[in-house]
Amino acid sequence: MTHSENEDLVQLLITDHREVEELFRELEGLAGSTGDEVGTLAERVVIELVRHSVAEEMYLYPTTREHVPGGAKLADQEISEHAQAERTMKELERLEPGDAQFWPTLHTLMTEIRSTSRRRSGTCSRGCRTRCRRTCWPTSAGRPVPRRSWRRPARTRRHRTPRR
Protein backbone atom coordinates (compact mmCIF):
# COMPACT_ATOMS: atom_id res chain seq x y z
CA MET A 1 0.00 0.00 0.00
CA THR A 2 1.61 3.21 -1.13
CA HIS A 3 0.70 6.79 -0.55
CA SER A 4 1.68 10.20 -1.83
CA GLU A 5 4.20 12.29 0.07
CA ASN A 6 1.59 15.08 0.23
CA GLU A 7 -1.16 13.17 2.00
CA ASP A 8 -2.01 14.26 5.50
CA LEU A 9 -2.32 11.71 8.30
CA VAL A 10 -6.11 11.62 8.33
CA GLN A 11 -6.26 11.10 4.56
CA LEU A 12 -3.64 8.39 4.86
CA LEU A 13 -5.73 6.58 7.50
CA ILE A 14 -8.91 6.93 5.41
CA THR A 15 -7.06 5.48 2.42
CA ASP A 16 -5.90 2.59 4.61
CA HIS A 17 -9.51 1.87 5.58
CA ARG A 18 -10.49 1.74 1.91
CA GLU A 19 -7.62 -0.56 1.04
CA VAL A 20 -8.43 -2.95 3.90
CA GLU A 21 -12.05 -2.93 2.72
CA GLU A 22 -10.83 -3.99 -0.74
CA LEU A 23 -8.95 -6.89 0.85
CA PHE A 24 -12.12 -7.83 2.74
CA ARG A 25 -14.09 -7.87 -0.53
CA GLU A 26 -11.46 -10.10 -2.12
CA LEU A 27 -11.75 -12.49 0.82
CA GLU A 28 -15.55 -12.44 0.62
CA GLY A 29 -15.23 -13.47 -3.01
CA LEU A 30 -13.27 -16.51 -1.82
CA ALA A 31 -15.66 -17.35 1.04
CA GLY A 32 -15.39 -20.97 2.09
CA SER A 33 -12.15 -21.54 0.17
CA THR A 34 -9.23 -23.17 1.92
CA GLY A 35 -6.37 -22.38 -0.47
CA ASP A 36 -3.11 -20.53 0.07
CA GLU A 37 -4.53 -17.35 -1.49
CA VAL A 38 -7.02 -17.05 1.38
CA GLY A 39 -4.30 -17.46 4.00
CA THR A 40 -2.09 -14.90 2.26
CA LEU A 41 -4.92 -12.34 2.02
CA ALA A 42 -5.91 -12.87 5.66
CA GLU A 43 -2.29 -12.40 6.69
CA ARG A 44 -2.09 -9.16 4.66
CA VAL A 45 -5.24 -7.89 6.38
CA VAL A 46 -3.76 -8.56 9.82
CA ILE A 47 -0.43 -6.91 8.94
CA GLU A 48 -2.15 -3.82 7.53
CA LEU A 49 -4.54 -3.52 10.48
CA VAL A 50 -1.71 -3.79 13.02
CA ARG A 51 0.35 -1.15 11.21
CA HIS A 52 -2.70 1.07 10.85
CA SER A 53 -3.59 0.73 14.54
CA VAL A 54 -0.06 1.67 15.58
CA ALA A 55 -0.24 4.83 13.45
CA GLU A 56 -3.57 5.80 14.99
CA GLU A 57 -2.38 5.16 18.52
CA MET A 58 0.91 7.03 18.04
CA TYR A 59 -0.34 10.06 16.13
CA LEU A 60 -4.10 10.41 15.80
CA TYR A 61 -5.35 9.61 19.30
CA PRO A 62 -2.94 11.91 21.19
CA THR A 63 -4.06 14.78 18.95
CA THR A 64 -7.69 13.79 19.40
CA ARG A 65 -7.26 13.80 23.20
CA GLU A 66 -5.65 17.22 23.16
CA HIS A 67 -7.62 19.10 20.51
CA VAL A 68 -11.07 17.57 20.04
CA PRO A 69 -13.85 18.28 22.56
CA GLY A 70 -14.54 14.98 24.32
CA GLY A 71 -11.44 13.59 22.64
CA ALA A 72 -10.12 11.67 25.64
CA LYS A 73 -13.31 9.62 25.86
CA LEU A 74 -13.34 9.08 22.11
CA ALA A 75 -9.68 7.98 22.04
CA ASP A 76 -10.26 5.60 24.96
CA GLN A 77 -13.22 4.05 23.15
CA GLU A 78 -11.15 3.60 19.97
CA ILE A 79 -8.29 2.00 21.91
CA SER A 80 -10.74 -0.39 23.55
CA GLU A 81 -12.07 -1.37 20.13
CA HIS A 82 -8.49 -1.89 18.92
CA ALA A 83 -7.93 -4.28 21.82
CA GLN A 84 -10.97 -6.33 20.80
CA ALA A 85 -9.87 -6.41 17.15
CA GLU A 86 -6.36 -7.46 18.26
CA ARG A 87 -7.83 -10.41 20.16
CA THR A 88 -9.78 -11.43 17.05
CA MET A 89 -6.66 -11.07 14.87
CA LYS A 90 -4.65 -13.26 17.26
CA GLU A 91 -7.37 -15.88 17.05
CA LEU A 92 -7.35 -15.64 13.25
CA GLU A 93 -3.54 -15.94 13.10
CA ARG A 94 -3.62 -19.30 14.86
CA LEU A 95 -6.17 -20.68 12.38
CA GLU A 96 -5.68 -22.07 8.89
CA PRO A 97 -8.22 -21.47 6.08
CA GLY A 98 -9.32 -25.12 6.36
CA ASP A 99 -10.13 -24.85 10.09
CA ALA A 100 -13.81 -24.77 11.00
CA GLN A 101 -13.45 -21.45 12.90
CA PHE A 102 -11.39 -19.62 10.25
CA TRP A 103 -14.28 -18.08 8.27
CA PRO A 104 -16.46 -17.22 11.30
CA THR A 105 -13.44 -15.55 12.96
CA LEU A 106 -12.60 -13.66 9.76
CA HIS A 107 -16.23 -12.55 9.47
CA THR A 108 -16.11 -11.31 13.09
CA LEU A 109 -12.97 -9.29 12.33
CA MET A 110 -14.56 -7.79 9.21
CA THR A 111 -17.65 -6.79 11.19
CA GLU A 112 -15.56 -5.20 13.97
CA ILE A 113 -13.40 -3.21 11.56
CA ARG A 114 -16.26 -2.12 9.32
CA SER A 115 -18.42 -0.87 12.17
CA THR A 116 -15.50 1.04 13.69
CA SER A 117 -14.50 2.53 10.31
CA ARG A 118 -18.03 3.73 9.52
CA ARG A 119 -18.49 5.35 12.90
CA ARG A 120 -15.02 6.85 13.03
CA SER A 121 -15.20 8.45 9.60
CA GLY A 122 -17.85 10.80 10.95
CA THR A 123 -16.32 11.63 14.32
CA CYS A 124 -12.62 11.51 15.06
CA SER A 125 -11.38 12.19 11.55
CA ARG A 126 -13.70 15.13 10.97
CA GLY A 127 -12.93 16.75 14.32
CA CYS A 128 -9.21 16.17 14.07
CA ARG A 129 -8.35 16.81 10.44
CA THR A 130 -7.32 20.48 10.56
CA ARG A 131 -5.63 20.04 13.89
CA CYS A 132 -3.72 17.00 12.62
CA ARG A 133 -2.34 18.92 9.68
CA ARG A 134 -0.65 21.27 12.12
CA THR A 135 0.02 19.18 15.20
CA CYS A 136 0.29 15.43 14.75
CA TRP A 137 2.99 15.01 12.16
CA PRO A 138 5.57 12.65 13.57
CA THR A 139 8.71 14.42 14.72
CA SER A 140 12.22 13.41 15.66
CA ALA A 141 14.39 15.81 17.64
CA GLY A 142 11.94 18.61 16.82
CA ARG A 143 12.04 18.01 13.05
CA PRO A 144 9.25 16.47 11.00
CA VAL A 145 9.87 12.88 10.02
CA PRO A 146 9.42 12.30 6.27
CA ARG A 147 5.92 10.95 5.76
CA ARG A 148 7.15 8.00 3.76
CA SER A 149 8.97 6.69 6.86
CA TRP A 150 5.79 6.18 8.86
CA ARG A 151 4.33 4.13 6.05
CA ARG A 152 6.97 1.43 6.26
CA PRO A 153 5.37 -1.96 6.76
CA ALA A 154 5.49 -3.34 10.24
CA ARG A 155 7.91 -6.22 10.60
CA THR A 156 5.65 -9.08 11.42
CA ARG A 157 5.39 -12.71 10.62
CA ARG A 158 2.64 -15.17 11.03
CA HIS A 159 3.08 -17.23 14.16
CA ARG A 160 1.68 -20.68 13.80
CA THR A 161 0.52 -22.65 16.78
CA PRO A 162 1.38 -26.34 16.61
CA ARG A 163 -1.66 -28.51 16.01
CA ARG A 164 -2.70 -30.82 18.77
139-140 vs 143-144, strand pairing mode: antiparallel
Distance CA 124, CA 134 (A): 16
Q: What is the identity of the amino acid at 120? A: R
124: exposed, middle or buried (C-beta count within 10 Å: 0-12, 13-18, 19+)? buried
**What tens digit of pLDDT does each residue of 21-70 get?**
999 999 999 998 888 999 999 999 999 999 888 888 888 888 888 888 88
Tell me the pLDDT tens digit for each residue of 62-112.
Answer: 888 888 888 899 889 889 988 999 999 999 999 999 999 999 999 999 999
The answer to whether 71 touches 64, Cβ cutoff 8 Å, is yes
